[in-house]
Structure 1
């Protein structure tokens, strides 16, 4: 299974797109990860555009490039559904409001990974257990080599082809900032706000459709999947935004 680095799509060239499923991973039990949700359209709740994390009963943290305020009425959040094709299970919610980081810049020639976060307010709360956020006091969770759990319904192959898989998960090491600075440059990859994910040999990572999804260490949400140049190429690791770097800002939005 290939873990997609961006929700809905991988970052290609200079434009951020949503990532797909986890490449090189395994099927995940939604009961173990009740806080992971899928972002879909109202017309097709069986196909994920991105993923997200329930951080409060009515709040979902995701990537800003996964959200278009102009089409907010068409956005749906699906919770508690391991296989999105099984509409008998889980719950679907409309989104009443979206907050996007004011410095998010995820499209065009100026696209960067930092600040690629957004918070969705659900029209009706979900009953699933939210996930705790990493705070500045948890900075050791970002150490190079630390195993990070990623989850999503994205593509399980770099091509992005194939049917939508059930929820997938994989453990991916923190690759260290140097690998992503080499791949993307220090302007696009700002180590103050972003983290680098991948194996030195490649092959396992987030993929198309996984954007916005959770990166978890020791039971805390440490990252939001943002993008990357490839789902499998060792030279282009995955990139996520560091939740701890935005902790106070995220908390202020959750409390509204």
Structure 2
């Protein structure tokens, strides 16, 4: 088996076991998830995806819009509410297209059970200061019901602005996407793969021959199956490796938490 590699995310050290996807473009060869073997979709056809950026407009992670005020992403993408900028309606991060909407976040809520060592419960909610304008370039993503499982072999699609090569040397000029089949937790947890590190709150997707995967910079992005977001890009080992598929936070395990968190916030606001 290949040795586990340590990494540094946004200048923060990450344990050298099952390193989470670093939300930065450091150019280091690190154990993370990347969109490799994919293609550029029709411009603005994936309308629910957003780019989470620093205030100086450097892409950090992906995310997806679930209503006009709320974004879902990975908890390890939390760089701090005062350092974060949300961009919706984008396709090329390097060209101004006139379709972009830049919104500052008001609140970041990471899941209370998130564990940065095991990557369990790697999910967070971001509330925006102002509502996103839903239009021809921006729309919301649908979520699965609580506890709904996605079957092994089901082909899903993950998208993002992450690196396009295993060594993380190339940042794509436009959004990229790739289709991947779901892999059973049993296979993903086998001694030949992640050896028990996959919890019930995670799911795996990839090909037995490798070659296609999500990547550094894709963290927090959506894995869409049957028209609903079943996974959030979370972590991995290597990139597009046949032995180690991509690991995603299983959204259906957190649907109740998502709904309750949003409802709780609105309830508090409406008391006054």
Shift, 1:118, TM fit? 0.3
The corresponding residue for 1:120 is: 126
Any conservation in 2 of the 1:180–1:189 contact (CA below 8 Å)?
Answer: yes
1:3-22 equivalences under 5 Å are 13-18=17-22, 21-22=34-35
The corresponding residue for 1:26 is: 39
User: Which of 20, 27, 51 is residue 38 of structure 1 equivalent to?
Assistant: 51
Whichever of the two has the greater Rg, that structure is 2
In 2, the alpha carbon distance for the partners of 1:82 and 1:21 equals 17
The corresponding residue for 2:163 is: 155
In 2, the alpha carbon distance for the partners of 1:251 and 1:208 equals 29
CA, structure 1 residues 12+153, in 2 after alignment: closer, same or farther (shift >3 Å)?
farther
User: What secondary structure, in the 3-state scheme, does the structure 1 residue paired with 2:66 have?
Assistant: strand
User: What secondary structure, in the 3-state scheme, does the structure 1 residue paired with 2:169 have?
Assistant: coil
Structure 1 length normalisation: TM-score?
Answer: 0.86
Q: Higher relative contact order at CA 8 Å, sep ≥6: structure 1 or structure 2?
A: 1
Q: What stretches of structure 2 of length at least 5 have no aligned partner?
A: 1-8, 23-31, 266-272
User: Which of 60, 63, 72 is residue 74 of structure 2 equivalent to?
Assistant: 63
In 2, the alpha carbon distance for the partners of 1:56 and 1:161 equals 34
Structure 2 length normalisation: TM-score?
Answer: 0.81
Shift, 1:103, TM fit? 1.1
1:80 aligned to 2:84?
no
Deviations 1:178-225 (A, max 9, x none): 232122232x311x2110111000010101110100010111111111
In 1, the alpha carbon distance for the partners of 2:247 and 2:171 equals 25
Any conservation in 2 of the 1:12–1:228 contact (CA below 8 Å)?
Answer: no
**How many residues in Structure 1 have an aligned counterpart in Structure 2?**
237
Any conservation in 2 of the 1:113–1:239 contact (CA below 8 Å)?
Answer: no
- Which structure has greater helix proportion? 1
In 1, the alpha carbon distance for the partners of 2:43 and 2:187 equals 32
Any conservation in 1 of the 2:18–2:235 contact (CA below 8 Å)?
Answer: no
The corresponding residue for 2:6 is: none
Any conservation in 2 of the 1:76–1:93 contact (CA below 8 Å)?
Answer: yes
Q: What stretches of structure 1 of length at least 5 have no aligned partner?
A: 1-7
